[in-house]
Amino acid sequence: MSTPLPSPIHPSPSPSPLVQIEEVQSTTKTARIAVHTHVKGLGLESNGTALPIAAGLVGQEKAREACGVVVDLIKSKKMAGRALLLAGAPGTGKTALALGISQELGGKVPFCPMVGSEVYSSEVKKTEVLMENFRRAIGLRIKESKEVYEGEVVELTPEETENPLGGYGRTVSHVLVGLKTTKGTKTLRLDPSIYDGLQKESVTVGDVIYIEANSGAVKRVGRSDAFSTEFDLEAEEYVPLPKGDVHKKKEIVQDVTLHDLDASNAKPQGGQDVMSMMAAMGKPKKTEITEKLRTEINRVVNRYIDQGVAELVPGVLFIDEVHMLDIECFTFLNRALESSLSPIVVFATNRGVCNIRGTDVLAPHGVPVDLLDRMLIVRTMPYSIEEMVQIMSIRAAVESIEVEESGLKALGEIGARTSLRYSVQMLTPANIIAGTTGRNSVTEADVSEIDELFFDCKASARLLAKSDGYLK
Ligand SMILES: Nc1ncnc2c1ncn2[C@@H]1O[C@H](COP(=O)(O)OP(=O)(O)OP(=O)(O)O)[C@@H](O)[C@H]1O
Ligand SMILES: [Mg+2]
């Protein structure tokens, strides 16, 4: 989900040998922490029961087990077009559970998160925003058999000639690439355009690559495992030496979403088959995605599914704060959920009975009853003090803050009095207070000092209720 930050090593021309790469990496890792960083999955056993503390989640067993069932339904593709509603008080882990679901599904199943208020834009129709997100949540796995040259690079020599246009520059006229497999080595003499591709993928000697025979596209598979001991970098993926001939047919699997296909074909350039749709993906010029184009793409996709070339992977569309949607969006959702190309939609809300936006009709969760009727509802419960203390200690570990037992207990009590979010937010300021007094672990005293400095929302509201319009 998070994109790695650029490495903080200075781009000096001759890097000092004293810089240790491992060390630099670890600091960037712990430096960026978001609200849900500690959530790594749903923490279920193989039989589906929730472990008390696992994968960064604490308690909330029933809701986690329910989410586990949903994950199984999604994986067995039995839940397309259905919907789940996570309902519960603020700070009871609805968003955290949705992220847990996405972690359990893994990277191959599309997960598209959005917030209800995202649909309001002055440029794009509300339903258009919803439609786009629906299609971002439906994946298509395309299997193709392609003619490729594959192997470990043993030679990479660009051959230069005088620039034919005169001047002093030299140009690459062709490139010699030696590819090795278990069967032998072959040297290819390739076009300079492929040399660009090789540079883009930063291919060096010792990498395993393949070059598509008809398009010339270069793909770096990984580093040959003969080199696996040379560095200790986690980022590198080691792959075995390819088997068979260098020139062969290879099954290539690609994962795209329907929205990728829409966007890349908004201005159609090629034919109407999946392959030219895919080829259009990298091209930047786009026009508006029309309903007509979507129907056309659906038709082609359905044909390829029937032929067995492509496989549909319904993913998850997560709509947080669903009470922010209005009546027009809800009627659209009713219809969209019934389409044959529909993802699983997970909604979340913390509202009880309130107005449906855009009407003066009261409804549970601010969602029309006919849509609620299509949903499975999962309730999240408030946490006990012990659970809050455990969540707090997980957060403290993620933020690498040392907190003493008594400090954690004090934070848990604050959480019970106010909210989980508020007490999680107390962690960093309490650590700063501890730092100013020269300690490196947070004590109970630090926590109560911080608690006096800040107001939680309930305390602030109580104070405001007493004032008559002005703050005094
Ligand atoms: N069971 C849990 N285990 C560990 N951490 C949790 C758990 N539940 C919530 N948290 C953490 O507590 C914080 C608040 O939870 P979250 O944002 O998921 O609440 P929410 O139900 O979405 O609230 P809201 O209704 O206000 O959106 C987050 O940092 C979340 O990661
Ligand atoms: Mg939330």
All structural domains of the chain, each given as residue ranges with its CATH number in brackets, are 53-137+315-380 (3.40.50.300), 141-307 (2.40.50.360), 385-466 (1.10.8.60)
**pLDDT of 318:** 92
How far from each other are the two terminal CA atoms of the chain, in whole angstroms? Answer: 45
Nearest residue (CA) to ligand 1, atom 3: 57
Question: How far out from the chain centre does Cα 140 lie?
Answer: 17
**pLDDT of 343:** 87
Q: CB within 5 A of ion ligand 2: which residues?
A: 95
Taking a C-beta distance cutoff of 8 angstroms, is the pair 10, 24 a contact? no
Q: Ligand 2 centroid to 443 CA: how many Å? A: 30
Nearest atom, ligand 1, residue 350 CA: 25
Nearest residue (CA) to ligand 1, atom 16: 93
Q: Is the CB of 93 under 6 A from ligand 1?
A: yes
Q: Ligand 2 centroid to 349 CA: how many Å? A: 7
pLDDT in tens, the chain (472 residues): 444 444 444 444 444 444 433 333 333 344 456 778 888 888 888 888 888 888 888 989 999 999 998 888 888 877 666 789 999 988 898 999 998 998 888 878 888 899 989 888 888 888 888 998 999 998 888 888 888 888 999 988 888 877 666 666 677 888 888 999 888 888 888 888 888 888 888 888 888 998 888 778 888 888 888 777 665 555 677 888 888 888 888 888 888 888 888 887 776 555 556 666 666 665 555 456 788 888 888 888 888 888 888 888 888 899 999 999 999 999 999 888 888 778 889 999 999 898 988 889 899 999 999 889 888 899 999 898 889 999 999 988 888 888 889 989 998 888 888 888 888 888 889 999 899 988 888 888 888 888 888 888 888 888 888 877 776 6
Q: Ligand 2 centroid to 279 CA: how many Å? A: 38
Q: Ligand 2 centroid to 350 CA: how many Å? A: 8
Nearest residue (CA) to ligand 1, atom 27: 90
**Nearest Cα to Cα of residue 1 among 98, 125, 144, 86:** 98
Taking a C-beta distance cutoff of 8 angstroms, is the pair 177, 188 a contact? yes
Q: Ligand 1 centroid to 90 CA: how many Å? A: 8
**pLDDT of 85:** 93
Q: Ligand 1 centroid to 71 CA: how many Å? A: 19
Strand 353-355 relative to strand 362-364, pairing: antiparallel
* Dihedrals phi, psi of 143, to nearest 5 degrees: -105, 130
**pLDDT of 5:** 43
Q: Ligand 2 centroid to 421 CA: how many Å? A: 11
* Residue to probe by mutation, ligand 1, list 95, 117, 390, most atoms within 8 Å of CB: 95
Ligand nearest to the CA of 383: 1
Residue ranges of E strands in 62-196: 83-88, 111-115, 138-162, 170-181, 184-190
Q: Is the CB of 96 under 6 A from ligand 1?
A: yes
Question: Rounded to whole angstroms, how far apart are CA atoms 351 and 349?
Answer: 6
User: Where do we find the tokens 């209720």?
Assistant: 465
Ligand nearest to the CA of 113: 2
**Nearest Cα to Cα of residue 179 among 250, 253, 225, 244:** 244
Ligand nearest to the CA of 61: 1
**pLDDT of 146:** 83
Nearest atom, ligand 1, residue 98 CA: 18
**pLDDT of 380:** 92
Taking a C-beta distance cutoff of 8 angstroms, is the pair 87, 379 a contact? yes
Q: Ligand 2 centroid to 381 CA: how many Å? A: 14
Nearest residue (CA) to ligand 1, atom 14: 91
**pLDDT of 270:** 52
